[in-house]
Amino acid sequence: MRRSVFITRCSILRRRRIEELPTRQDTSARKPIRSVAVMAGVALAFASVGVQLVRLAAKHADAPSVAINAPMATGTSRPDIVDRKGRLLANDVEMPSLYVDPQAVVDRDELVEKLRKVLPALNEQELRQALGDKNRRFAWIERGLAPQVAQQVHNLGLPGLGFRQELKRAYPAGQLAGHLLGGVNVDNRAIGGIEQYLDARGLVDPVLQAQATTRPAVLLSIDMSAQHALEAELANAVTTYGAKGAAGLVMDVNTGELIASASLPRVDPAHPSANPRPEEVDRITAGTYELGSIFKMMTVAMALDRRQVTPQTMIDVSEPIKIGRFTIKDHHAASGSMSVRDVFLKSSNVGAGRLALGAGADAQTSFLTKLGLTEQLSTDAGTVAFPVLPKIWGEAETATISFGHGMAVAPLQFAAAAAALVNGGSYVIPTFLKRSAGQKVESRRVISEQTSAALRKMMQANVVEQGGTGHRAAVAGVDVGGKTGTAEIAINGRYDPNAVIASFVAAFPIEKPRYLSLVLIYEPARTAASAGQITASRTAAPLTARLIERIAPLLGVATNRVANNG
């Protein structure tokens, strides 16, 4: 009985274990499921963070940030500047700049004393102030050091000093075309000239490091060889004639391209001044001057184009012109009448005045406006100085402007107008950038081809004939035409006959001009070389001859005759 009961209980317990076994198996099976769920949740969280990081990175991909413990100056990467033949005028070079961490300096006096031996121009006061501020971690000491100087500083082994590589503008040709190039500041940003054009047109790139640009070089219209010749001849003229300064340009009359442009004294584009001295300004673009008798080109062209006269028309020059308190007379008295041609060749103020008065103030104003001489001229190198016009444009002003007094313009602005008079009658805005082959040149007609041809014949006769004021500008083998100008300078409200601007404008080859040159000599002295005279005939005309003789072969102008320099 007991045995059967025991067996029965054992059977019941065995059956219970069998019945409970699946339940324990189900519990252990749920554990992996929970682990998977936890892992999936963690993976999802990481995925979410990853997606957010990718989104933020994509959003700010174009604006990377740099975390440093000292301020970093943002520099500028600039393209090369080359002349019309690809010769280098300006480029960026990588140079070390010296800085200091004031908190890392061990001995301030030692640092200052040792640096002064390597950097004599060091501003000791500013450096000591920077070192005294222990809240600062960064201060510039010297930007753009020469490598050998940087090595000397490095050899000092002074704690707290460091170098950062920066881009610095270099001008391999030195002072050549200094006014035109302009220059940059310590952050490689433009101060003026063509460099300013690059900034204004967005052709430069801000950089945080010394990273050279990938932009193509900027091609100027300037020819380095012609530029060198112009600067050399101007410098020689200053010495020869004891002048206070000189300026000149060479322009392609058909495209408006400046082949050369210079002003003396020269400036160094590597060390530009934001506030140049008066004598250091670019006289070609930044100064305005009464240019004297070269303005008679405009007066004669106006009279011819209005069909007011012909080259053979006789003009009464026997008496001075009197208008109110003003009296206009010629330097050399003439009797009777002279032709318009002779008015030009002999540079008669009275004859020019009568031509202008015959046309009237309105016609003169309209003609000069058409030539671009009464409004400010803008070029790719910047704006040109605004012309100085008379407040009242009456008879007196009309007469004096006819021979280049009473109105002041920048030489470049005058040259652009003169080019239109000799190239067949089309005005082209001057440019310092090379025009590509086949590029269409925008122009506007200002005079007829017949008027231009007649004026060119007078200009040629003025150089070829001994009676012309420009015969000393003749060049062997090159047909040159031109006009002299000797303008007295107003000092304290009165014109000084001993202080003049002597100028000469020339076109060559004159039958079908390709180039125009304009030279100006400021306040030449009475020297033996000029036979004791200060007139353009004795100074600016021979300067022009020497210049054209040098640059004509460079510009491919064929020689075809022998000149008589008389």
Residue 464: Cβ within 10 Å count: 20
Q: What is the DSSP letter of 472?
A: G
Residue 508: Cβ within 10 Å count: 28
**Which residues are catalytically annotated?**
293
Q: Choose among 332, 331, 344, 473: nearest CA to 402.
A: 344
β-bridge partners, 121: none
Residues 475, 162: Cα–Cα separation, whole Å:
60
Q: Choose among 555, 467, 478, 558: nearest CA to 510.
A: 478
Tell me how many degrees the CA angle 432-438-443 measures, rounded to the nearest 5. Answer: 60
Query: Per the structure block, which two tokens stand in for 357?
Result: 């008065």
SS3 of 116-175: the string is HHHCCCCCHHHHHHHHHCCCCCCEEEECCCCHHHHHHHHHHCCCCEEEEEEEEEECCCCC
Residues 375, 385: Cα–Cα separation, whole Å:
10
E strand or H helix that includes residue 338: strand 337-339
- Report yes or no: 100 and 131 within 8 Å, Cβ to Cβ: yes
Instruction: Go through the chain and tell me how many residues it has.
Output: 566
Reduced to 3 states (helix: H, G, I; strand: E, B; else coil), residue 524 is coil
Residue 79: Cβ within 10 Å count: 19
Q: What is the DSSP letter of 433?
A: B
Reduced to 3 states (helix: H, G, I; strand: E, B; else coil), residue 395 is helix
Q: What is the DSSP letter of 434?
A: P
E strand or H helix that includes residue 445: strand 444-445
E-state strands within 208-325:
218-219, 245-252, 258-264, 314-316, 321-323
For 372-385, give one letter per residue: b (16+ CB within 10 A) or e.
bbbeebebbbbebb
β-bridge partners, 139: 100
Q: Choose among 357, 302, 355, 349: nearest CA to 330.
A: 349
